[in-house]
Amino acid sequence: MKVLMFGWEFPPYMSGGLGTACLGITQALTEDQVEILFVMPGSQIPDDEQFIRFISPHSFRMEEEFLPQEIHDTFLKKIMVDSPLSPYLNEQTYRMQSRRQTSILSGTRRTKAIPFTPYEPNLFSEIDRYGYIARWIALAGDFDVIHSHDWMTSRAAYLAREISGKRWIFHVHSLEYDRSGEAVNPEIWRMEQIGLQQADHIIAVSDYTKQRIVKYYGISPHKITVVHNGTAQNHLSRQAIMPRPLKTQGKNVLFLGRITFQKGPDYFIEAAAEVLKHIPDASFFMAGSGDMMPAMIERVAELGIGQNVHFTGFLQREDVEEIFRMSDVYVLPSVSEPFGLSPLEAIHHGLPVILSRQSGVSEVIRHCLLVDFWNIHDMADKIIALLRRKPLVEEMTTNVKGELFKTTWRSAAEKIRSVYHRTIHSEGV
């Protein structure tokens, strides 16, 4: 099985959970002898270039030299298309980012390059340009099926299918209704709807997401297969859940994610204020960055809880590990969460988790506490219970282990490969 896969982030260049998901999916698929050519926008060159063949949509003409070279001992090849596209962009942030991009072709050995031209003036024309390059990639490549991740790649996948005649699977990790609520960007929504209508089949990361695709985009449920995300602990034993460090002081509550409308940081802050009325020595950590951070800092000041609430900013991998070890409770108060990978990480680190009922991960993790994102009093009560009742924490963290080890990327990959076969070999799925 050979797959042409379009994504928009991949480690080490990541903005959120999509990169983690793409890594987990591709690793598990390649272990099952699936060969993947992964295409993504970007202009930074990783330290290890062995696994990536770079091209620029500004500066190449289709020649045989474009085709990826064989890479020994791996089924995964990546092509990075020089482009300022990245997750969670809007028109304003696109313009800011595009000004910072530079051509990656300076100093390369290409002799048939055409002159460099600037990036397109707006986000959607840039997506069209990226899609145009996808046609050439598809024309040159050898693959059985096209697999794209989220709306930014839908144009590329559609054009790749148009020129190759191969079936296209649209993998939905997040919808515009998740990211923006009712204040959707109509152009992004329309691009999502066109992609969902035109794709041969759809993978949704949760039944929650599947139902929203049916409700908001008018797609038949028979066209959608649910494949839950997994955890990186594919090959670990049940004893590999990390033990909690011994702690004599401190009651630390963690929010880890983008500080945006979708993740519900404002509800977390309001719940923190309620908890502090009962447990004044508790500490609340908001780890991440996003457009709501200034407003959250101002609200913390208004509530007079600045000594108890700490903003870490965006954390690198080693810092994420450290803050999990420091914490006692993890809270995911998302307004709309298609899945949610960070709760699985929290569980791996031995933390009890509180999830909003509006999250897909609650479909696979039962031994947790559920709240409606807007119910700050219920959220506060459950945080207090976990900080005060050690037997409850022990019961939750013990019983959740089995669920964690059933939620693997290998299991997800098996379902995805089944979707590949059914989509390729049937008239409709």
C-alpha atoms less than 13 angstroms from C-alpha of 96 in its C-beta half-sphere: 6
- Cα atoms in the 13 Å half-sphere on the side-chain side of 44: 13
pLDDT at 15: 66
Higher pLDDT, 74 or 86: 86
First to last CA, the chain: 19
> What mean pLDDT is predicted for residues 259-266?
93
- Higher pLDDT: 13 or 364? It is 364
Percent of the chain surpassing pLDDT 90: 48
To 10 degrees, the CA torsion angle through 33, 37, 38, 41? 180
CATH 3.40.50.2000 assigned to domain 2-230+409-425? The reply is yes
Count of beta carbons in the 10 Å neighbourhood of residue 164:
21
Query: What is the per-residue pLDDT for 141?
Result: 73
9-23, 43-57, 281-295, 411-425: range with lowest mean pLDDT:
43-57
Q: Give residues with Cβ within 8 angstroms of 428, minimum separation 6.
A: 200
Per residue in 340-379, pLDDT tens? 888 988 998 999 999 999 999 999 998 999 999 999 999 9
Task: Average the pLDDT over 211-234 and give the result.
Answer: 90
Residue bearing the bigger pLDDT, 410 or 91 = 410
The tokens 């020595």 sit on which residue? 281
The CA–CA distances, whole Å, from 156 to 15, 121, 166, 265 equal 21, 18, 13, 33
Mean pLDDT of the chain: 80
CATH 3.40.50.2000 boundaries in the chain: 2-230+409-425, 238-406
For 149, the 3-state DSSP assignment is strand
- Whether the pLDDT of residue 245 is over 70: the answer is no
More confident residue, 43 or 234: 43
Fold of 238-406: Rossmann fold (3.40.50)
Sheet holding 282-287, edge to edge: 309-313, 282-287, 251-256, 329-332, 353-356, 369-371
Task: Please give the pLDDT value at position 138.
Answer: 84
Q: Give the rounded distance of the alpha carbon of 150 from its chain centre.
A: 9
Q: What is the mean pLDDT of residues 221-245?
A: 69
Inform me whether the pLDDT recorded for 13 exceeds 70: no
Q: Is the pLDDT of residue 391 over 60?
A: yes
Please write the tens of the pLDDT for every residue from 29-45. Answer: 888 888 888 887 765 44
Closest CA to 340 of 205, 153, 204: 205
The C-alpha atoms of residue 77 and residue 69 are separated, in whole angstroms, by 9
Burial class (CB in 10 A: 0-12, 13-18, 19+), 407: buried
Per-residue pLDDT, 82:
55
- Find where tokens 């839908």 sit: 154
**Beta-carbon neighbour count of residue 97 at 10 Å?**
16
Integer Cα distance of 179 and 175 in angstroms: 6
Specify the higher pLDDT residue, 16 or 305: 305
User: DSSP letters of 23-51?
Assistant: HHHHHHHHHTT-EEEEEEE--PPPS-GGG
How is residue 37 written in tokens? 């050519």
Question: 283 φ, ψ to 5°?
Answer: -120, 140
Closest to 206 in 3D by CA, of 223, 232, 225, 234: 225
Confidence of residue 309 (pLDDT cuts 50, 70, 90): very high
**pLDDT of 105-150, one tens digit each?**
233 333 332 222 323 346 677 677 777 778 878 877 789 999 999 9
Residue keyed to tokens 């076969």: 421
CA angle 328, 412, 84 (to 5 degrees): 80
Task: State the Cα–Cα distance between residues 400 and 386, nearest whole angstrom.
Answer: 15
Residue 102, pLDDT > 50, answer no
What the block records as the tokens of 120 is 């397109």
Token pair belonging to 355? 């999830």
Q: Which pLDDT belongs to residue 384?
A: 97
Note the pLDDT of residue 67.
Answer: 40
Which tokens in the block code for residue 103? 């051509």
Token readout for 248 is 């004599």
Sign of the torsion angle spanned by Cα atoms 175, 181, 185, 189: positive
User: What local confidence, expressed as pLDDT, does residue 145 receive?
Assistant: 96
Please determine, for residue 48, whether its predicted confidence score (pLDDT) is greater than 50: no
Q: Which residue has the higher pLDDT, 189 or 404?
A: 189
For 190-218, what is the mean pLDDT?
A: 96
Mean pLDDT, range 187-198, rounded to an integer:
93
